[in-house]
Structure 1
């Protein structure tokens, strides 16, 4: 660890749970963020600030006016520009000492294994169920840890999948909901600060995974930011029938 690292990270290194060894773990970590939107923006910002050595993002969208109230990496000058390109510029301004990789493409069954395979931890900030289940199933195939978060209205959920207990999204929700039952986010709306709250929790959990600290593995954190009710549901791995009988 050089002087620059010490000067930048010494406040978090002062924590007993981090120290020099922990900061080296953060520096050596490789984290991919799915989506550079409302959740992805704070995740990328904090992981870069805290020194994650290799940080990646995949997103094929361009920046639109309606993104700006919650996607904090972007400004009005970025309208119609590619999200990953602008994210790279912003993150390199925040921390030029990390390696930042961008994938300006849609995540599909054709490219998921190749892209996710280069990283240790996957953080899912996507906004649709098809991508969430694709990411989950790819993490199972590749044995990658998945940091999961969703928001709707004023309620957010966060969990850690495929960690030490190997519990996955499908153990909690075996199948995605029917298309007609999925709420339309553009119609339901979102208060600009809310993705930042959940995204910051996701970034925090990611760092705890890296540091081998207790995480939300096997637990679903449910946070209602309208009433500030907080619940944690515990769940276990669903056993296939052949393991039950």
Structure 2
């Protein structure tokens, strides 16, 4: 493997001491350490994976780290996003992560990109880096980063986590198959679980983050065999790993331009989703939004959220509307029917949101359900 980055200047004595345990690695030496110091790495996402991989990169000696994220630290992040603490709640995740890096190595240069990445801004940002790590948590961003890296001819180290499993791979146009070759099309929105809906084991973040950092170091220094054309799958419950090999399909369509990735993935960030954890917290705080169950009668009789009214999605699409004041939260078994109902109601000017993940997610976070026929509308 040809090293991605040329060596930088000779190391000062204190740097030789700092990295002494790395310098003695077979095939590594000062030359590899100088490559790390000269490297410029962009990390997309400052959440679970980003907050795990960035400190490792800083400690390993990466000279410049860019962090792109437009989110702020929330209490629900802290169980898995280990570079953030209670004092960081309300702060930008990029700023919190930069503080973490400065505590590890003040000489590591951190560039914060407090923006929502898009087809309009990512190419210009990526142009300043040698390599990109994607630790994002949604498919539009994953495809955006993959396509932008392919067009720029730069390697992409990507990872994903959900529940008890993690995946890691390397995508590099011109050197092997890419993320697009592995996943030509995104899953339907109703099947794309997020950590917010599906949950995640906190220890997955540092585990997969370490794999991401290792692949990055290998590419920069030219040591080892990167995960090009291979996916590493880690199962925390069995403590096992397996490898999946893949190749570029003969009929693969080359990436020639960046597109609207939210449209491509069939999702929109319109603020209509309510997470199960948020709904449960609000109900326990005494709030009383109007809950509307749009499933069929036999499903509703088995279990429902207390206080909800019943109006099947077919009735809503036929023109009926819930007769209720205030906020409407629509739910079904998972959420596809609830999304349909919300779209229909909002077209009539009715303020409605849907429960992401449906009643299943509500039960998973400890929400109370009851059986029996509910009130209608």
From 17, 30, 44, the equivalent of 1:7 is 17
TM-fit CA distance, 1:150: 0.5
How do 1:9-48 residues align onto structure 2 when only pairs under 5 Å count?
Answer: 9-48=19-58
- Classify the secondary structure of the residue corresponding to 1:176: coil
Q: CA deviation at 1:238?
A: 2.2
State the partner residue of 2:135.
125
The answer to whether 1:201 aligns with 2:211 is yes
CA displacement, residues 177-214 of structure 1 (integer Å, 9 cap, x when unaligned): 11111113212211211111111111111101111121
- In the TM superposition, structure 1's runs of 4+ consecutive aligned residues that sit over 2 Å from their partners are 163-166, 238-243
Aligned to 1:221: 232
Give 1:147-158 correspondences, 5 Å limit.
147-158=157-168
**Which residues of structure 1 form unaligned runs of 5+?**
none
Match of residue 86, structure 2, among 73, 76, 83: 76
Q: What do residues 50-74 of structure 1 show as CA deviations (whole Å, max 9, x unaligned)?
A: 1101111000000000111111111
Whether contact under 8 Å (2:101, 2:108) holds in the other structure is: no
CA positional deviation for 1:86: 1.5
The number of residues matched between the two structures is 243
**Cross-structure match for 2:109:** 99
CA distance in structure 1 between the partners assigned to 2:20 and 2:194 by the alignment: 43
Partner Cα distance (2:110, 2:174) in 1: 27
Match of 2:249 among 227, 238, 244: 238
How far apart, in 2, do the equivalents of 1:229 and 1:242 lie?
34
Q: CA deviation at 1:100?
A: 1.0
The Cα of 1:241 is off from its aligned counterpart by 6.9
- Cα displacement string for residues 100-138 of structure 1 (whole angstroms, at most 9, x for unaligned residues): 111001001110101111101100000000000000000
Deviations 1:123-181 (A, max 9, x none): 00000000000000000111110001001111111010016623111111101111111
For residue 242 of structure 1, report the CA deviation from its aligned partner: 9.4
**Which of 147, 164, 180 is equivalent to 1:170?**
180
1:115 aligns with 2:107: no
The secondary structure found in structure 1 opposite 2:169 is strand
Alignment match of 1:58 (pick from 54, 65, 68):
68
- Structure 1 stretch 181-190 or stretch 75-84: which is displaced more? 181-190
TM-fit CA distance, 1:30: 0.8
**Residues 165, 218 of structure 1: 8 Å contact kept:** no
* Secondary structure class of the residue paired with 2:19: helix
Kept in 1, the 8 Å contact 2:49–2:209? The answer is yes
Aligned to 1:230, the other structure's residue is in SS state: strand
CA distance in structure 2 between the aligned counterparts of 1:103 and 1:222, rounded to whole angstroms: 30
SS for the counterpart of 1:84 is: helix
Describe the SS at the equivalent of 1:135: helix
The question of whether the paired residues in 2 share the 8 Å contact of 1:163 and 1:217 is answered with no
Gaps of 5+ in 2: 1-10, 255-377
Tell me the SS of whatever aligns to 2:211. helix
Bigger Rg, which one: 2
Distance 1:144 1:130 in 2: 19
